[in-house]
Amino acid sequence: MLELAFFKITICISILHIVNAIPYPGDHASVEEYVAYYFNSVYTTKEICGFLLLVHGILISASTIERIKRRLGLRRRHCRTDISRVLQKIRELHREGYIAKFYLDLIKKRRCLPRLIRSDAGTENVLVKNLQIALRYGQNDELSGSKSFLIGRSTGNQRIERLWRDLSESFIHFWRNKFLDFSSLGIFRTSNLLHIECVRFCFLPLIRRQLQTFMDTWKPEIYDTMDYSCPLQCTMENVDELAEEYAEDWPEGGCCEEFLELIRFLTNEEPQHALIPNNLDEAIILFCVLIDMCDELILHV
């Protein structure tokens, strides 16, 4: 049965190469070239997974294909975005793969492991917990294995609390009060996922500039100089494999591609170039315009 299915797919793909106006990249092309070819042939991510596995013998996850598509700038243009799909993608921005990327990037940069990690009980930290315990498994010290990850309230961590205080005094209080004002005026509803995504799109560029300024000037208090790292007992290739499987790049601009596609549809502009606000007044105007557009669109769905 499997051989028959493989034969049928091979015949279909052979016919596709003949009738498709897009040049076939060849039997020895790279994964990126295959992904671009099937994407431009209007296949979905799951269908591309199937072609890569059954035709080319390449086993690759759907999330990896999505990352390749983002890296190559592959996206559908000028199509009416399904609102339910946009909302689902916004919910997925809380996935733990984004936090895992920061953890694995640190390991690759330092080429060692943290001896102990402490975090709160948020679900976004579950994957980091599993990776840390797995990588520290069998190192035979007093904090190896499951003891290498602690869960507790952040209020018990003086360093984190001091950092939050400094951040709040620098700019967090300002933005918290600004968004509360929007909410009290009925402009912004925290229960509306599209509203939240509009906040990200309009105000994150300004917040990131302030955060960069804070990072350039902040001088943390140094408690001691003891090295709390421990050796990495696997190769960097193994870490790269973990990153490929579990880590995800944070979307450019902090918004999912489906939301950016929606903005393109509503404004007929390229969001990442033409619509980026330069100051607070521009951001507020853009925010109000996008909120009205999204609310109007929802009413007619």
pLDDT, tens digit, 9 for 90 and up, residues 222-269: 656 677 788 888 889 999 999 888 888 777 777 877 788 888 877 777
Q: What is the pLDDT of residue 274?
A: 66
Beta strand spans in the chain (E)? 112-114, 117-119, 149-151, 229-231
Question: Does residue 33 carry a pLDDT above 80?
Answer: yes
Could you tell me if residue 107 is inside a domain?
yes
Structure tokens at 153: 């309230």
Minimal CA–CA distance to 256: which of 214, 300, 193, 210?
Answer: 193
Q: What is the pLDDT of residue 16?
A: 45
Domain final residue, candidates 29, 47, 74: 74
Could you tell me if 59 and 95 lie in one domain?
Answer: no
pLDDT, tens digit, 9 for 90 and up, residues 130-188: 999 999 988 888 888 899 999 887 666 777 788 888 888 899 999 999 999 998 888 88
Could you tell me if 14 and 158 lie in one domain?
Answer: no
Q: How many beta carbons lie within 10 A of that of residue 31, not counting itself?
A: 14
**How confident is the model over 27-36, as a mean pLDDT?**
88
Could you tell me if residue 82 is inside a domain?
no
Dist CA 141 CA 228 (whole Å) = 13
Domain final residue, candidates 42, 74, 106: 74
Domain count, the chain: 2
Could you tell me if residue 159 is inside a domain?
yes
Angle at 272 between CA 269 and CA 278, to 5 degrees: 100
Question: Does residue 68 carry a pLDDT above 50?
Answer: yes
Average pLDDT, the chain: 80
What domain range is 37 assigned to? 2-74
Could you tell me if residue 216 is inside a domain?
yes
What's the predicted TM-score (pTM) here? 0.61
pLDDT, tens digit, 9 for 90 and up, residues 198-219: 999 999 999 999 999 998 888 7
Could you tell me if 164 and 120 lie in one domain?
Answer: yes
CB distance 139 to 175 below 8 Å:
no
Could you tell me if 198 and 58 lie in one domain?
Answer: no
Q: What is the phi/psi pair of residue 284, to 5°?
A: -65, -45
* Proportion of the chain above pLDDT 90, given as a percent: 19
Could you tell me if residue 81 is inside a domain?
no
3 state SS of 59: coil
Higher pLDDT, 3 or 299: 299
Could you tell me if 25 and 63 lie in one domain?
Answer: yes
